[in-house]
Amino acid sequence: MDPDRTTSAIRGEIERLARRAGHDASGLADDDLIPATGLLDSTAILELIAWYEDHFGLEIPEEVLTIDNFGSIALMAAWAQEHM
Amino acid sequence: MVIPIVAPRTNANDDEVHVVAILTAPGARVAREQCLMEIETEKSVVEILAPREGYLLRLEVTERQHVPVGTVLAWLGEQPDEALPAAPLPEASPTAPADGGQGPTLKARALLAAHGLAPDAVPRSGARLAVRDVLNVLSGQTAHPATALQPAFPLAPGRQEPLMPAARAMARTVSWQREAAVAYMELRYEVDPWTAHARAFAQRHRLLSDPLVPLLAQRLAVWAASHPHGNATLLGEMRHVYDHVNLAMTTRSGDTLHLVVVPEAETLDPLGFVQRLAHLQRQAFRKGRGLPAVVAPTIGFSSLSSWAISRHMPILPPHGAVMIGHAQPPRGPDRGVGTLGASYDHRLLAGHQVAELLEFLSQPSPPEATEDKSDGS
């Protein structure tokens, strides 16, 4: 998948989940640490990962599901590009 | 004790009786062998006599009604305000079923009624349907027939032990008005120690999402493992103590509320529990794909920590002694103060035991106790 489309898809889902909680995530930068922004609570972050696994057809082992691998849009996109 | 008055079989050929006259009104005091009503069969008119003195609590039939043999006609109690069984007794012949056996014992009938089971839904091990037969079905040792009322979850495996006399007395005392005796208690606590503990845990393990609520739930599993009387349910007057702690957690996704169960939670260290729960929650969010087989929960936890809610009174699930409701408002006047509420079965847990549980949960475990086996630092 095109890297830009990967990034765009992840951003779209984050904005959708944030909007559901009454937040506007349109200003989120690709390198912003998502948990630190407060846009998504802990459950919404798990929903984001569940969507990510479905959307990209990936299974993420628990031990690699860390903030260092999935903490930002850029990190999530890079992991998807590498493992798809 | 409340006893049912059932339509007797007066001859081998009549499976039905006709209620001719009702001679006693509900609430009336009756003497032993006083005639309560008259019924008629093909061959005779029979008086239904009170088997003992007491009060006619309720009539289940009306005049001119035709009912099968074995139908409960009325209820007789020792006191005028005695509670009836939670569910009406199913129709059953107390004398001679077609297979030549006899009907349920009185205790078995009460247990059947309490759990909404029909007698023919329970396999009989002897000449009469006994309490142990009903317990076998409730505990899953005997297949639960499709015709029976199915609980939301099957009962998790465990051992059955009789209540101690004091506990049995308490169970009877708190159950006077209904079959279950659910009480509620809550404790307010300062959230800062827990918040700092969860933040340090997340930093140490590089976690993506806040582990506060999973760590609270894991602490509940720790308590349940060391307090088996709280990881149990009541079957009749037997305590069914579960073999493992299967912790149920409510998880919301949009408008859908999921219940995920972490099986054998007592075997997991904090990090293992957090990861296992996250994995199960993601499976639930993925529209059921890859969901593991349903595991019967033994204890529960529910949190509304993302909402400005200061009190959360959870419904006690079936077959459980306690369910914790957690609230920790992120904003509003109660910010900084959390609430841990417990809905509990007072027949299994006394108030002081639940108070101790809430105090235990309100404090995170010491840092050295939360170090998981994989953490080499």
pLDDT at B336 (0 to 100): 84
* Level-2 CATH architecture, domain B171-370: 2-Layer Sandwich (3.30)
CATH class of B3-153: mainly beta
Beta-carbon contacts below 8 Å between A and B: 58
Task: Give the list of residues 6+ apart from residue B372 with CB closer than 8 angstroms, or none.
Answer: B269, B270, B271, B272
Cβ of B205 and A51 within 8 Å? no
Q: What is the DSSP letter of B115?
A: T
Q: Does A66 touch chain B (CB under 8 A)?
A: yes
Lowest mean pLDDT among A51-60, A70-79, B325-334: B325-334
Cβ partners under 8 Å of residue B332, min gap 6: B308, B310
Position B64 confidence tier, pLDDT thresholds 50, 70, 90:
confident
As a whole-number percent, the residues of chain B with pLDDT over 70 amount to: 79
Q: What percent of chain A has pLDDT over 70?
A: 99
Question: Tell me, what's the ipTM?
Answer: 0.90
Closest Cα in chain A to B255:
A20
Q: Which of B208, B281, B282 sits opposite A66 (nearest CB)?
A: B208
pLDDT score recorded for residue B42: 67
Q: Contact B209/A46, CB-based, under 8 Å?
A: yes
**Mean model confidence pLDDT for chain B:** 80
Residue ranges of chain B assigned to CATH 2.40.50.100:
3-153
Greater model confidence, B124 or B209: B209
**Mean pLDDT throughout B280-308?**
77
User: For A30-39, B107-116, B251-260, B310-319, which range has the lowest pLDDT when averaged over its residues?
Assistant: B107-116
C-alpha B294: how far from chain center: 18
Q: Cα–Cα distance between B71 and B92 in angstroms, integer? A: 6
Q: In chain B, where does DSSP find H-type helix? A: 106-114, 131-138, 165-174, 192-205, 212-226, 270-285, 351-362, 367-370
CATH superfamily of A3-83: ACP-like (1.10.1200.10)
Q: What is the pLDDT of residue A4?
A: 87
Lowest mean pLDDT among A34-43, B225-234, B254-263: B254-263
Q: What are the residues whose beta carbons fall under 8 Å from the beta carbon of A61, sequence distance 6 or more? A: none
Name the residue with higher pLDDT: B21 or B258.
B21
Over residues B224-242, the mean pLDDT reads 90
- Token duo for residue B162: 């009789």
What confidence score (pLDDT) does residue B90 get?
A: 43
Among the ranges given (B85-99, B232-246, B272-286), the one the predictor scored with the smallest mean pLDDT: B85-99
pLDDT at A69: 95
B208–A20: do the CB atoms touch at under 8 Å?
A: no
What's the half-sphere exposure (Cβ side, CA atoms, 13 Å) at B191?
19
Beta-carbon separation of B278 and A35 below 8 A: no
- Answer whether A74 touches B (CB < 8 Å): no
Burial A11-48 (b: 16+ CB within 10 A, else e): bebbbebbeeeebebeebeeebebbebebbbbbbbbbb
pLDDT at B165: 74
Binary contact (B285, A70; C-beta < 8 A): no
Give dist(CA B195, CA B369) in Å, integer. Answer: 17
CA distance B107 to A57: 56
Closest-CA residue in chain B for A70?
Answer: B208
Which residues from chain B sit within 8 angstroms of residue A20, using beta carbons?
254
CA distances for B278 relative to A47, A72, B139, B263, angstroms: 10, 19, 30, 13
The contact set of B with A (CB < 8 A) is 205-213, 251-254, 275-276, 278-279, 281-283, 285-286, 289, 306
What's residue B16's pLDDT? 79
**CB distance A43 to A23 below 8 Å:** no
Range 17-46 of A in CB contact (< 8 A) with B = 20-21, 35, 41-43, 45-46
Q: Please, how many CA atoms are within 13 Å of residue B223, restricted to the half-sphere of its CB? A: 29
Sort out which chain B residues have CB atoms less than 8 A from A22's CB and list them. none
* From A8-17, B214-223, B285-294, the region with the lowest mean pLDDT: B285-294
Helix axes B351-362, B212-226, angle to 10 degrees: 140
Domain locations in chain A as residue ranges: 3-83
Average pLDDT over residues B284-298: 69
Provide, as residue numbers in chain A, all residues whose Cβ is less than 8 Å from the Cβ of B194: none
pLDDT category at B291 given cuts 50, 70, 90 is: low
- Least confidently predicted of B10-19, B61-70, B156-165, B347-356: B10-19
Question: Rounded to an integer, what distance in angstroms lies between the CA atom of residue B49 and that of residue B166?
Answer: 36
